[in-house]
Structure formats: C-alpha cells, structure tokens
Structure 1
C-alpha cells in the first residue's frame, strides 16, 4: 500500500516524489509463500499476472507459489499453517473445512458461482443431468467437484444409484477412450483444452442446474490473520491478486498473451479459450467481492446436502471489511 501511494505521488508531483518511490522500493521485500490448489493454469492467472505485473513487489512482497492437489487439500494445508498460511481454495471446500474445525477464513471470492461442468462426447447427446442415468461418470478421488456433482443430483431430485461411478485420474483419457461417458472439471480446465484441440463436447454447467455455491477464493489461516504483520501481508496479497484478476476481467486477450509468455508450454489456443472463460467467471465486478448473501447460499446448499460436519455461520467462514 505504501509503494502504491508513493507511486501515485510520483505521478502527480514529479522527480522529488519519484525519489521517494525509489527509496520505498529499495527496502527489503517481505517473502511470502502462497499455496495454489492446482497447477499453474489460467484459473490462477490473477496470481501469476500479479507477480508478472509487479503488483506484489510494489507492495513490498516477494511471492512464491506452491501447488496442492485440489481445493480440499489446499484448505487442509492452510488450516494446518505449518508451511502455507495463505492461498486459494474453493468456496465449498472452505466451508466444509471450516465446519470440521479447520482455522481458515475467506478473504476474497473470485468465482461467485461454480465453474464446474459435466462434459461428455457430443455424439452421446447427454443434454440434461437425467440423461446420465445408465451412464458411467468418472470421479477423481479427493476432488471437490465430486461433492458439487452430488449437489446437482440432489437439487434436481435425481437418483445417484442409477449412475455408475468410476475412479479416474486427473486427465481426460477415460472419456476419450470411452471408459466413461462423462467427467467433471472446471470449464476452463480440461473442457477448454479439449475444445481448443477441436474435439466436440457437450457441457452441463452445474450452476445452470441449481448448484449455487462460491468457488475460487483466497483463504487465510486464522492464527496468521491474528498476527498484525501477517494480516498486513495478507491484505497486500489480496490487493495485488485483485489487480491481476482485474486485468483478466477487463482485457482477457491481453491477459492470455502475457500468461502464455510465462507458461509457453501451454497451447496458445487453450490459453485463449480458457482465459475467456475465466474472464466470464469474474463478472460482475468488483473482482474479489464476497457477500454475506453469497456465503449464506453456499452454506445453505452444503447444509441441505449434509456435507457440513457441524452448523456454521457466514462470519465463521469469511472476513468482511465491516
């Protein structure tokens, strides 16, 4: 915040203020490890672009990123607080973990609806959840999308016993090799990759079938938040990431181009398509906003499905400005 303020002064008042900015920038950067709940894909562009744009550095931070195998694992690791005390998860995973007593809270919500989708081969003509009766659907062990899928079934009064569940890996081969008829993933991840390769798919977006839960969010360990020093760092991380995601929201093509320079091994067509989906997920502005109503809806959905270990409140789950 101090660096940003000094920069604004420099812009207005010339060389003397610019010298002040230089002095601020010369101070040692505070190091912080941020845990992401999956691999470096466009979903997390706001984090990586914030670093690429200097948004962390301007706030006096030197940020490195770790990776977890899914939102549930990330919530557990941040709740443990030993190696990581701040990072990303999903709204559903955050609330479930909180109900189990994990000391985590949400600072910001980037996806105010789940981006998860059931995706199938177009020729199978699966256009509605009830079309999954008699079909095989692949589940990845430990993925929060499993709970989201079950939420969709319950909200649409469908009998899950009429759908065969198959354990699969974190890749699309079970679907492509016709070992299953459907998979579930974030729309901007595997589905976007397959679309960019020219494959024909049908998508059933869970949010279109009643699953109203917060998704990608920034969470912090409560003990860390209680520390004035770490609280200040967490607030700076949230501000910087908001800056990164605002670029995605406002100029997805530009964000895709910059992200591709960071991760040149990702196919450009995939990054373009995925980033466009991420931009849509970030709407409407303001980016990162979370509301009591949104969290209450998430909690109500999880409670109705029996997924909460104990009752929780909105204030148990999220930190608000007021």
Structure 2
C-alpha cells in the first residue's frame, strides 16, 4: 500500500511524454512485504466469456487490501452478473490515470492528491473519480515509540524520509507548525525505503509517512512498538479521498451504462469485504498468493471500518471534503490553476444515488 506522491512537475512530464501503450504487469512497491508481481486476472468461464463485455481496470500498485473488493467482485461473479469480463492489471508506476485518459484501460485507481496537478493543468487530464474506495484518508506518520514523535512537534531535529514532493512537504509543514513546532528544524532525507519497520529499527530514519491499513498493520504484526499520528485527525482538510476509482470522461459520456455496471459490481465486492473481512482476505490471497497471510488478514479486518461509513453507500464522496482539499492546495500555491468546485469527481454512478 506504499506509494509515492507524484509532484506537479513529474506528472506534467508524464502527460507530455507518456505515449499510449498496452497495460502491463510490472513491479511496484509493496510496503516492505517482498511481494512480486503476479497475474491478477482469472479467465472468464468458457461458456460465458463470449457473452460478457471485456473491461480492464488498472490498480495503482501490486495487489493489496485496497483492491480486495475488485477481486471479490470477480471471484463471486458480481462482475459477470453485470455482464462484464473484468481484467485486473497492475500498471507502470504512476501510469494508471494517463492510460485511462488515453483509452488504453477502462478504469483505474489513483488518489485525489496526485490527480490534482493533472486537473489543474491548462489542458486538464480527462479523467473523473467515480467512487471512493475508502471513506477516509488512512495516512500519517509512524515513528519509534517513546521518542516524542507521537505528535508533529516531535519531528523537530529528527530525520523524516521525504519524497521531496511539494504537497507532501506542505502537509508536514502544516501539522508541525499547527502543533507549535518549527518545520525548518525537521531533517529531510531522501525516501528510499522499501520496509518502514526495518528503516525505523536500524535508525535509518526517525519518522516516515505510511498508510496505516497496510504499513501500520505490518508494524503491529511484526511486534514493533511505534507511535503514530494521522493527518486527518490534526486537520480535517487532510481527510481527502485516497484511493479513488477513476474512469475517462469520454467513457462516462459515451458508455455510462458500463460505468454504472462496473461501479455497481465493485460496490457489492467492497461491501462484502467490509462485512466479511476474513473471507474477503482469503479471496485476495487466492489471487495474490505472494502476500503474507497474517498481514493480509489483519489488514483486511482493520480496513473493514474504512470501506464503509455508517448510513452511506460504498463509494460516495462528500463535495465539501473534495473541494476543500483542492481549495487548500490552491490557497497554498501548490497547483498552477484553481480547480473549480465539483470538478474531478461524480457520485452519479454510486448505487442508490
């Protein structure tokens, strides 16, 4: 579940230089689990394959518990019931939005923060978030227990592993300064980490940004004593949507029924995952046997409370939260153009909307 935040410069470069190409299964970071790429799609039944519409969805990284609902929807036949033969693939690093926009994939997974530079470009990337995979931002800062980094001010004078990304560093600055700390005293070192727990144990770093649903659970399973604070608990504007399911604007306009069917089946898969985490984890492990079983099971249990909010359907996005984060990026000069309210997401395909 580990990922790098893509800077506006890098994403702009990708938009210019990324020639259309067929999606490929490639290596991607895996939160220190040692996982290796695997084929993530099972063939459709020969008796029904010809009757189903072929659809491709690109993950953001190699399979993990962010993706369980898709594998459940495939395994339990929800996609097939909707008339879809879904091929789940892992894209080149950072390439999912570009390939979706170019029509080389039907759906993809990305993040509200990394979509921002593309949506704020002079020619915005023609993709739209059609569902929130998780209802809340599960990221924050992990550190060794008892060293004072359980709050942002404690990062003063300590080594933080940075991706050298303007949005990432602005978030860190915000929480440190709101806690009365001096951001200029935070020691920024390059984030070349593949295993957060190992990096903390060896004192390579004192703190690192993680997504708790995988890396935090990995620390628990490993028996590592740690402190942690979540960004959304310190500033509500940081409760942005990460990850999200995206589709191209062209597909939304020209084939809304396929979008509706795909999101509806995915909703069934993720709802099942939230209500039956053990069974869902077993399905994920079947499709991604390289994952560590205990970590996967414990992660899925924890994620169950992040997939659904009480009284709300899976995937629904709150306009105030979506727009509020993009407004914060604009006010802090982190994007080149203001993103209009309501741009970049839709709830139109969420079942029951």
Normalised by the length of structure 2, the TM-score is: 0.75
User: Aligned partners of 1:279 and 1:159: how far apart in 2?
Assistant: 37
Indicate the residue corresponding to 1:306 in structure 2.
Answer: 333
93, 99, 108: which one pairs with 2:114? 93
Q: How far 1:221 sits from its partner (Å)?
A: 1.4
Q: How far 1:178 sits from its partner (Å)?
A: 1.0
Indicate the residue corresponding to 1:3 in structure 2.
Answer: none
8 Å CA contact 2:167, 2:334 repeated in 1: no
What 5-or-longer segments of structure 2 have no aligned partner? 1-46
8 Å CA contact 2:66, 2:133 repeated in 1: no
Indicate the residue corresponding to 1:252 in structure 2.
Answer: 277
82, 85, 96: which one pairs with 1:62? 85
Paired residues for 1:59-138 under 5 Å: 59-68=82-91, 73-79=95-101, 81-100=102-121, 101-138=124-161
8 Å CA contact 2:285, 2:293 repeated in 1: yes
Paired residues for 1:21-40 under 5 Å: 28-40=51-63
Q: How far 1:156 sits from its partner (Å)?
A: 5.0
What 5-or-longer segments of structure 1 have no aligned partner? 1-23
User: Aligned partners of 2:178 and 2:243: how far apart in 1?
Assistant: 21
8 Å CA contact 1:256, 1:272 repeated in 2: yes
> Does 2:239 align with 1:212?
yes
Query: CA-to-partner distance for each residue in 1:54-113, whole Å, 9 max, x for gaps?
Result: 11111121112222466x54334433x242242111122233321121111111112232
Q: How far 1:310 sits from its partner (Å)?
A: 0.8
Q: How far 1:245 sits from its partner (Å)?
A: 0.8
Name which one, 1 or 2, has greater alpha-carbon Rg. Answer: 1
For the aligned residue pairs, the C-alpha RMSD in angstroms reads 2.7
8 Å CA contact 1:91, 1:216 repeated in 2: yes
314, 319, 334: which one pairs with 1:287? 314
CA shift in 2, pair 1:239/1:104, >3 Å? same
8 Å CA contact 1:49, 1:258 repeated in 2: yes
| Structure ranking higher in helix proportion | 1
Normalised by the length of structure 1, the TM-score is: 0.82
CA shift in 2, pair 1:289/1:308, >3 Å? same
Query: CA-to-partner distance for each residue in 1:211-265, whole Å, 9 max, x for gaps?
Result: 232221111111232223xx32222221111111101222222222332333333
Q: Secondary structure at the match of 1:287?
A: coil
CA shift in 2, pair 1:193/1:96, >3 Å? same
User: Aligned partners of 1:153 and 1:125: how far apart in 2?
Assistant: 13
User: Aligned partners of 1:141 and 1:49: how far apart in 2?
Assistant: 36
